[in-house]
Amino acid sequence: MIPDTVTDRLVLSPIDAADATTVEAIFALQSDPATWRHLPEAVETDISQSRSMAEDYSRSWRHHGVGWWVVRLRDPLPGVGPEEIVGLGGAAMRRPDIRAWNVGYRLSPRIWGHAFATEIAVAAARAANAADPETPVTARALSRNVASWRTLERAGLVLRWEGEDAAEYRPTSGVLRRVYADRDLGDALLNQLIAQG
């Protein structure tokens, strides 16, 4: 069993796709329109979507030693207890044809504004570099989601591209978005990341 990662204010537990309670908590977050304020087209409507995502991240843990976590607070906030899953995030390699760590995070709007996303992004970049320092740490963000890309910059990632190119992921195809990385990516890898959306 992979141990939790504990940061100053968070407990980060590897996503376990076999745990129905975890999958239900992920779906509660992923199906909440408030969570998707910057990309309403991505709201999940069926728990099978969350289950599939959890399986992807579980696979990353098994194959690469790093994946996404579910997020709990070490100390409660008003209305949010320490056992409640309030987000997810981490670094993962979800596709074997794209050799890059992808850092991401999604938090319940109830805990926005406390810089928890930065704490997750920093922990994710560290975990990815520890697992495989030769593989670039990357992230993608919508240009209109200023808080998200500022989080990536605070985590030490640098803007490598901004544009509106077509993408495999329909909700972000043609939307102005950004690609960040901890190093130069080269044209081939950058184009693969742009195509992901």
Contact 66, 128 (CB under 8 A): yes
Reduced to 3 states (helix: H, G, I; strand: E, B; else coil), residue 26 is: helix
Q: What are the structure tokens assigned to 124, written together?
A: 């994710």
pLDDT score for 23 = 95
pLDDT score for 56 = 92
pLDDT of 1 strictly over 80: no
Average pLDDT (169-190) is 94
Reduced to 3 states (helix: H, G, I; strand: E, B; else coil), residue 133 is: coil
pLDDT score for 94 = 78
pLDDT tens digits along 36-69: 999 999 999 999 999 999 999 999 999 999 999 9
Average pLDDT (75-99) is 91
Contact 196, 169 (CB under 8 A): yes
pLDDT tens digits along 147-166: 999 999 999 999 999 999 88
Average pLDDT (28-38) is 94
Share of the chain above pLDDT 90, in %: 88
Reduced to 3 states (helix: H, G, I; strand: E, B; else coil), residue 167 is: coil
Residue holding tokens 């998200």?
148
Res. 170 pLDDT band, cuts 50 70 90: confident
**Angstrom distances, CA of residue 131 to CA of 16, 56, 91, 155, 167:** 19, 18, 11, 17, 29
pLDDT score for 29 = 95
Q: Which fold has domain 5-196?
A: Aminopeptidase (3.40.630)
pLDDT of 102 strictly over 90: yes
The ranges assigned to domains in the chain are: 5-196
Q: What are the structure tokens assigned to 147, written together?
A: 């808080």
pTM comes to 0.94
Reduced to 3 states (helix: H, G, I; strand: E, B; else coil), residue 68 is: strand
- Specify the DSSP class assigned to residue 54: H
